[in-house]
Amino acid sequence: MKVLLLLCASCFLATSYAGYRDDDYVINTKYFPDDFLFGVATASYQVEGAWNEDGKGENIWDYLTHLNPAVIKDRSNGDIACDSYHKYKEDVALLKDLGVNHYRFSLSWSRILPKGFAYQINELGVQYYKNLIKELKDNGIEPLITIFHWDTPLPVHEAGGWTSEFVIDYYADYARLCFELFGDQVKYWLTFNEPKQTCEQGYGSGEKAPFIQSHGIGEYLCTHNLLRAHAKAWHIYDEEFRASQNGNVGITLDTPWFEPNTTSEADLAASERILQFMFGWYANPIFNGDYPDIMKTRVAERSKQEGFSSSRLPEFTQEEIDYINGTFDFLGLNHYSSYMISDMPEPEIGAPSWENDTAVLYWQDPSWTPSASDWIVVSSTAPTEK
Ligand SMILES: *[C@@H]1O[C@H](CO)[C@@H](O)[C@H](O)[C@H]1NC(C)=O
Ligand SMILES: *[C@@H]1O[C@H](CO)[C@@H](O)[C@H](O)[C@H]1NC(C)=O
Ligand SMILES: *[C@@H]1O[C@H](CO)[C@@H](O)[C@H](O)[C@H]1NC(C)=O
């Protein structure tokens, strides 16, 4: 299986710095295999700006940052961002200057479908992406496209968003359109970027858009729909486009690494458990058909004790398991940091939460050095006897 290790922009800077050579100003790639894809990545809301230009519709970040600017610490927003909508040629020149040969960016669903649904296509938005793809290819840079990177169109959110099953079909319509419009030029597709963040922060802890706090319930519903939407997009590509376009469809997941605090059985089990709750939650259904057993057992047991008549973790039917199982051509993995893990006593039964379903304590050692972007990068994770 191919695993695509995706380096985010900030990580990339650290990488390129390490390989920087005074004499010729090129990135030293000699330690990487020939087929290593060097690249950087962005998300539409983070870079495009032009939030309401040329027919683009409103997404949840536009709407919610305008409604309540205080949701962002310094009250900034993505209205202009890096202005890449206007400056994409400059940005491609910068990529070329960096020496990368791949660029992962996301499509703004609301720029292509201003109302979120398939009945209205914004030709100017489509043209923007065609221009960007052409500019990249003219400069020898291969595009990798993320179909969805957190910017749900407002009308799709208002119709239920990611906690509603209908989103699967709306997303599938949008994904099919993307394959149709850009698939002759694009060979690497990512259905979603970091779904854990979209679902947990968006619908569980509610720290990020759409700021819904539904601990222990919303994030599981969101994930359940998102995984089925991913599978549907993969099947659409497989059945309708693969033969003519011959590309690859995967997903980008993110996970930290978890290091047990001691070699006790309880700590070893705890670090495996949190890996399953973070990474297995998404990877296991796609690579093996279903949620990890430890999640199924723990959430079902706690739900029962909390008084629910069924598990807060939804169940896949056998038909869905067969449909989702194996829906990947590659895996994209975003990795930022690591945590120490220790077991904790079973949290009291009360209000449900994903954190309490995991029942682990995690922390970072203050002696670990942060990267330039403040992520603590731990290069050696050999278990230490304590
Ligand atoms: C998923 O597919 C694999 C490979 O075909 C198979 O071994 C596994 O049992 C399937 N998973 C489930 C839950 O059916
Ligand atoms: C986890 O459970 C404890 C009780 O054991 C509770 O005080 C806490 O609020 C819960 N955590 C979350 C994030 O809900
Ligand atoms: C981690 O392990 C050390 C012993 O090696 C222990 O003193 C410490 O309390 C543990 N930390 C936690 C949070 O369990």
* Residue 69 near ligand 2, beta carbon < 6 Å: no
| The pLDDT of residue 12 | 34
Ligand at shortest distance from the CA of 364: 3
Cα 212 to ligand 3 centre (Å): 35
> Tell me: the pLDDT tens digits for 248-268?
999 999 999 999 999 999 999
> Tell me: the pLDDT tens digits for 61-110?
999 999 999 999 999 999 999 999 999 999 999 999 999 999 999 999 99
pLDDT at 25 over 80: no
> Tell me: the pLDDT tens digits for 204-242?
999 999 999 999 999 999 999 999 999 999 999 999 999
Helix residue ranges, H only, the chain: 9-18, 44-47, 60-67, 84-98, 109-112, 123-138, 154-158, 167-182, 195-196, 202-203, 218-236, 242-245, 265-275, 281-288, 293-306, 318-324, 354-358
In sequence order, which residues have a C-beta less than 8 Å from that of residue 103 and are 6 or more positions away? 39, 40, 41, 42, 92, 95, 136, 141, 142, 143, 144
Cα 293 to ligand 1 centre (Å): 14
| The pLDDT of residue 57 | 98
What atom in ligand 3 is closest to the CA of residue 343? 14
For residue 372, name the pLDDT band (cuts at 50, 70, 90). confident
| The pLDDT of residue 34 | 78
For residue 314, name the pLDDT band (cuts at 50, 70, 90). very high
| The pLDDT of residue 30 | 63
Tokens 């290593």 -> residue? 36
What atom in ligand 3 is closest to the CA of residue 267? 14
* Domains recognised in the chain with CATH numbers: 3-363 (3.20.20.80)
> Tell me: the pLDDT tens digits for 328-367?
999 999 999 999 999 999 999 999 999 999 999 999 988 8
Q: What are phi and psi of 56, to 5 degrees?
A: -70, 140
pLDDT at 316 over 70: yes
Mutate to test the pocket of ligand 2, among 356, 358, 360 (most ligand atoms within 8 A of CB): 356
| The pLDDT of residue 33 | 81
* Residue 358 near ligand 2, beta carbon < 6 Å: no
Cα 215 to ligand 3 centre (Å): 28
- Mean of the per-residue pLDDT values of the chain: 92
Cα 343 to ligand 3 centre (Å): 10
Q: What is the mean pLDDT of residues 119-133?
A: 98
pTM metric for this prediction: 0.91
| The pLDDT of residue 14 | 31
Mutate to test the pocket of ligand 1, among 288, 318, 322, 324 (most ligand atoms within 8 A of CB): 288
* Residue 240 near ligand 2, beta carbon < 6 Å: no
| Proportion of the chain in helix, strand, coil states, percent, rounded to 5 | 45, 15, 40
> Tell me: the pLDDT tens digits for 254-313?
999 999 999 999 999 999 999 999 999 999 999 999 999 999 999 999 999 999 999 999
| The pLDDT of residue 10 | 34
Atom 14 (ligand 1) nearest CA: 289
Taking CB atoms and a 6 Å cutoff, what residues make up the pocket around ligand 3? 261-262, 342, 361, 386
